[in-house]
Amino acid sequence: MTEDALGRPEINGRSFYGYDSSDVQDSYTGRDIEVEAGFILPHLKSGMSLLDCGCGPGAITFGLADVVAPGRVVGADIEPAMIEQATRLAAESGVQNVEFSVGDIYDLPFEDGEFDIVFSHSVTEHLSDPVRALRELHRVAKPGGLAGIVKTDWTFPFIVPESEGFSKFFELFEGGFNRIGGSLNRGRYLGAYMREAGFEVIEVRNQVSNAFGETTVITAERFISWLDNIPLFQESVELGITSESELDAVRAGMREWAAHPDAYFSLPGVRALGVKR
């Protein structure tokens, strides 16, 4: 594993997390604002300025921009390929009050107190120092400004019927995050992290996603796409943690699970709101 000029982890010249892959990018374009950001929507008003940090291809950003229009919305992401896709989608959709730029959540290119709202979805799990990142979001928020943060916690996914393929997938995924100091299993501490970063925490809630029936196939294929396109899994093979034959068994196991008539899958994710006093 190496790092690029921005300090991002790379494997053989590719993003450790595979966010340079169009298949991985596409898996984020269908995010629904009510599902992913519904907890913050009641606090948004027309004319507010908003930062979406870790915006990916902009699916959530566009929804937020619509709510606060004509307020200024900025989407920032450390992956240039994500910003390129978000910029292209913004031009195609004709959204007027949003802009996108490459930015590191540890060192954002914005002034102190620049935004009424700071929002970040599924970013801090990638980081070895999530509190440092939250302090940076605290810095760019206005006094009295609001932070809405989403952090995964996949410690206890519901997988019915039990699936060795799914269990192995999550084990390998978490192991990859752990190798660079991150974790997919620490969302429950989000409120504590935000308080340490300087926010007054006003809400912490757990929200689960669900897959049953036709959506089980979509869920399984999305994870298989990640397995195929995120280099951390290939690094796991190179390190001797797994093998190509085991990864084939993981793919087969997830597809077998998706075809089961009782297949049900649920993942938790923590949402927290904090105010900068």
Kindly state whether residue 235 falls inside one of the protein's structural domains. no
Report yes or no on whether pTM surpasses 0.85: yes
User: What is each CA distance from 204 to 98, 126, 175, 193, 262, in whole angstroms?
Assistant: 28, 20, 26, 12, 32
How far is 257 from 266, CA to CA, in rounded Å?
A: 14
Residue 154, pLDDT score: 93
DSSP string, the chain: -EE-TTS-EEETTEETT-TTSHHHHHTTTT--HHHHHTTTGGG--TT--EEEET-TTSHHHHHHHHHHTTS-EEEEES-HHHHHHHHHHHHHHT--SEEEEE-BTTB-SS-TT-EEEEEEES-GGG-S-HHHHHHHHHHHEEEEEEEEEEEEB-SS-EEES--HHHHHHHHHHHHHHHHTT--SB-GGGHHHHHHHTT-EEEEEEEEEEEEETTHHHHHHHHHHHHHHH-HHHHHHHHTTSS-HHHHHHHHHHHHHHHTSTT-EEEEEEEEEEEE--
- Ranges of the chain with pLDDT below 70: 1-8, 10, 25, 27, 29
Kindly state whether residue 90 falls inside one of the protein's structural domains. yes
Kindly state whether residue 13 falls inside one of the protein's structural domains. yes
Kindly state whether residue 165 falls inside one of the protein's structural domains. no
- Phi and psi angles of residue 126, each rounded to the nearest 5 degrees, phi first: -80, -10
Kindly state whether residue 48 falls inside one of the protein's structural domains. yes
How far is 163 from 64, CA to CA, in rounded Å?
A: 37
Kindly state whether residue 173 falls inside one of the protein's structural domains. no
Size (the chain), residues? 277
Kindly state whether residue 116 falls inside one of the protein's structural domains. yes
Q: How many domains does the chain divide into? A: 1
Residue 14, pLDDT score: 72
pLDDT digits (tens, 9 = 90+) for 141-153: 999 999 999 999 9
Q: For the domain that residue 63 is a member of, what is the CATH number?
A: 3.40.50.150
Q: Which residue has the tokens 């009295």?
A: 144
**Phi and psi based region of residue 77 (left: phi greater than 0; alpha: psi -120 to 50; beta: remaining):** beta
Residue 60, pLDDT score: 95
Residue 158, pLDDT score: 94
Kindly state whether residue 86 falls inside one of the protein's structural domains. yes
- Per the structure, the complete domain to which residue 129 belongs is given by 2-155+181-212+267-275
How far is 184 from 71, CA to CA, in rounded Å?
A: 33
How far is 131 from 135, CA to CA, in rounded Å?
A: 6
How far is 17 from 155, CA to CA, in rounded Å?
A: 19
